[in-house]
Chain A
Amino acid sequence: MPKLKLEDLARMREEARRATVLREGAGRVKVIVHMGTCGIAAGGRKIMEAVLREVEERSLQDVLVTTSGCAGLCSREPMATVEVVGAAPVKYVDLTETKVKAIFAEHIVGGKIAEPYALAVGSERTH
C-alpha cells in the first residue's frame, strides 16, 4: 500500500460512508423488499438483486435495503416498500426489474412517488 496523503484519508472516509451509515442505521431512505414465501416464489430475490444493483450503480450512500416477511397482499408480489425519512411509506407492487429502475430514478433519487407502480401510501392501522 502506498503511503497516504491527506487527501487519501478523506477519500477513504467518503468511500466507506455507506458502510458506516448502514452500521449506524442512519439512512435517508429505506427500501424493504418483501420476502415472505409468496414474495420469494414470485421472484423477490431477483428484485432484491435489482435494488442492490441500482444502489451500487448510482453510488448511493444513504439508502438502506432490508427484507421483511409477507405484507399480506400475496397476489401482487413481488412487492417493496419505500420509506423516506419524514414521509409516509409507499408500497410498490407487481415489480419487475424495469420498474425498480424507474422507482429509483423518480422516487428515491427524484423525490416523487412513481405513481403508476404504487399501490398505496401509508401503512394499515394496527390497533
Chain B
Amino acid sequence: MAYRMHVMVCAGTGCVSNRSLEVRDALKRELIKRGLENEIQLVTTGCNGFCGVGPLMVVHPDGVFYQQLTAKEIPHLVEEHFLKGRPVQKLMYVPPEAPAPVPKMSDIPFFSRQRLVVLRNRGLIDPEKIEEYIARDGYTALVKALTEMTPEQIIAEIKTAGLRGRGGAGFTTGVKWEKVRNAQGEPKYLICNGDEGDPGAFMDRSIFESDPHAVIEGMVIGAKAMGVRHGVVYIRNEYPLAVQRILIAIDQAREYGLLGENILGTGLDFDVSVCRGAGAFVCGEETALISSVEGRPGDPRARPPYPAEHGLWGKPTCINNVETWANVSPIINHGANWYREIGTETSKGTKVFSLVGKINNTGLVEVPMGISLRELIYDIGGGIPGGKKFKAVQTGGPSGGCIPAGFMDEPLVYETREQKRAVAEHLDLPIDYESLTHVGSMMGSGGMVVMDEDTCMVDVARYFLSFTQDESCGACTPCREGTKLMLDILTKITDGHGTMEDLTALEEIAWIVKQTSLCGLGKTAPNPVLTTLRYFRDEYLAHIEAHKCPAHVCRELNTYRIDPATCVERGHGCGVCKRECPEKAIFGEKNQPHRIDATLCGKCGVCVDVCHFNAVIVE
C-alpha cells in the first residue's frame, strides 16, 4: 500500500536536545496503535531551520507546520489530523502580534522569504538515506561533471558563477580551484573545513546534519576539476550528530560506488576520510587545521605560501568551507548563469545565516546575498522580543564586528576587491586587510547575534576577547600578549575602574594586534573592540567618565534603590527583599517603605528578582 502522508520530524541537534526523538517515538507508537503505519510514513530529518520553536514537524502533502511539540500531544494530533483530516490549530505557529495561527509552512514569513540553494533538501529528506538524496536529483551534478565536462569546464563554470568562499574570507572559489589545478606537486588534496568555531554559528552543523551528501557530491566534482584523489572532511568534535551523519553518508556513497575507485565507471578515483577536531578554535584557520590533520598541534603559520601551493603534507591543497562545497552541485546542475541571477553584482548566490540572540524567530535562514539587515531581522526574524529596541547585531563571531542600527538598510555583501584596495591604499596596508567600514567586511561566516537595549557593548567586547584570548595558540607575541592586555583593560572598565588612558591604550593595542599577528585569529580578535569603539564609543565613555553602564549589565556600576511610593502603595512594605538580601543591606518595617544601604549593597540584583511589585530601581 502506498503512503498517503509523510510526517517529517526534525532531528537536528536543537530539536533533539529538546526531546524531538521522544515526540518521534510517540508518533511511531500512535501510528501503530491506530493502524496507520502503512499509510503514513514517519521521516526523521535534519535541521528544519526554525530552531526557536522546536520540536517541530511538517506534514506533507498538506504542508502544515507544527511547533513546540511534546510527546503527550501526539495522540490527539494523530487522531485529529492524520485520521480525520482536521489540522490542530493550537499546535500551529502564531507570528508575533498576529491574530491567528498560520498553518502552512510556505505562508510563514520566516520560511517564505528564504531562498534555499545550499539547504535545498533540509527537512525534506532523511539525511541517513542516500536514496532520498538521489530522489531529489542528488548526484546528477556528479554524473554531469564526470561524464560531460572536462576539468577546465568545471572550473570555468564555478568561476563564472562567482561563488565566493563562505567561511568568511569571500575569496573567489573558482580562482582557488584553478590555482590548485595548476600547482606543482602530487598528490593533491581537498579539505572540507567543518570546524565552525564561532559562538552562535551553526550553519555548517546544519548542513552536515540535514544534507551530508551535498558536501560529498561537491567534493567529488572538485576532485575531478583539480585532479585530486583524496579528501579530508574536518569536523569539530563538539558536533557528534554531524560526525555521525557524515560518516553514514560516506559509507553509503562508498557502497554505491559514488566514492572510491572508478566512480560510476568513469575512471575517477576519489575517497574521503573524516578527521575530528580536538577543541581548538584556532583549527578553523586553514594552516592550523592542516597542521591538526597532520597530527601536530594546531599551530598556524605565515602565508604565503597559501595551501593551494603548499598545504596538507606540503602538497597543493584546496580547502573550502562546508557551505562552499554544498554550493557546487546546484551550480553544475543549473548552470553558472542561473546562479548569477541570485544575489548582487559582486556577491552572487545565497548565504546561510544563523539568527540568534534577542530575536523572535531564532533559527537558520538562507537568503540571497544583498538582503538588508532590516529584512533579515524584522521580516524574517520577526523583530525583537518584548518590544525592545534594536541596538546592534554581532556578526561573524569573534572575528566579526558589532553593526549598529545605522547600517540597517545596507545590503549584506562581501567587500569587493576595489573597496578593499581603496582602504588598503589609504592606510598603506595589505589588500586582505578588513576595513570594518562596510557591513560586508564584518559579515564573516554567517553567525548573527542580535542585541537589544539591554546589552552592554563593552561587555560584549569583553566576552569575545575572553574567548579569543583563551583560544590564542600563543605562537606570536602580538596575539598572545595583546589579547590578554585588551581583556584586562576591558575587565577593568566593566568593573568600574577604567580610565581614559586605558581607553587610548586599548585602541592602540587593538590596531597593533590587528596589523602584526601571525594568523587570522589574532588579526581579527580586535574586531569586536574596534567596531564597538567606532560605533558605541559613548558606552565606553559612560563606563569610564560617568561610572555607569547604560544597559545595567555591568553590576559594579549599578546603583540599586527602592522607590518608596511603589514599595508602600503596591507592596505594603512586604519585606521580601530584606529577607533575601545576602548582605543584609535592606532596612524597613512592614507597611513602611524599605530602603537599601548603598555602602552595604553587594550589587547582586537579588532584590530586583524577588520583588513582585517592581519597586527596586536599577540606575
Contacts and interface: CB of A to CB of B under 8 A. Distances in A.
Interface of A: 1, 3-6, 9, 12-13, 15-20, 22-25, 27, 30, 32, 34-37, 40, 45, 48-49, 51-53, 55-56, 64-69
Contacts of A56: 1-2
Contact of B257 (A4, A30, A49, A68): A4
Contacts of B6: 19, 22-23
B83 A55 contact: no
Contact of A52 (B1, B124, B134): B1
B255 interface: yes
B265 interface: yes
A52 B131 CA distance: 23
Interface in B209-257: 255-257
A34 B84 CA distance: 7
A68 B140 CA distance: 38
A4 B256 contact: yes
A30 B60 CA distance: 13
Given A25-B61, A48-B39, A32 B135 contact: no
Interface residues of B, number: 36
A16 B61 contact: no
Contacts of B124: 23-24
Contact of B3 (A5, A9, A22): A22
Interface of B: 1-6, 8, 35, 39, 41, 60-63, 82-86, 124, 131-132, 134-137, 139-140, 143, 147, 255-258, 264-265
Contacts of A32: 85
Given A52-B4, A66-B4, A3 B256 contact: yes
Contacts of B85: 32, 34-35, 66-69
A55 B4 CA distance: 9
Nearest to A67: B85
B136 A65 contact: no
A1 B4 contact: no
B83 A35 contact: yes
Given A22-B60, A35-B83, A48-B39, A6 B131 contact: no
A3 B1 CA distance: 29
8 contacts: A1-B255, A1-B256, A3-B255, A6-B265, A23-B124, A30-B61, A48-B39, A66-B62
A16 B84 contact: no
Contacts of A9: 134, 139-140, 143, 264
Looking at A9, A12, A35, A48, which has the most chain B CB atoms within 10 Å of its CB?
A9
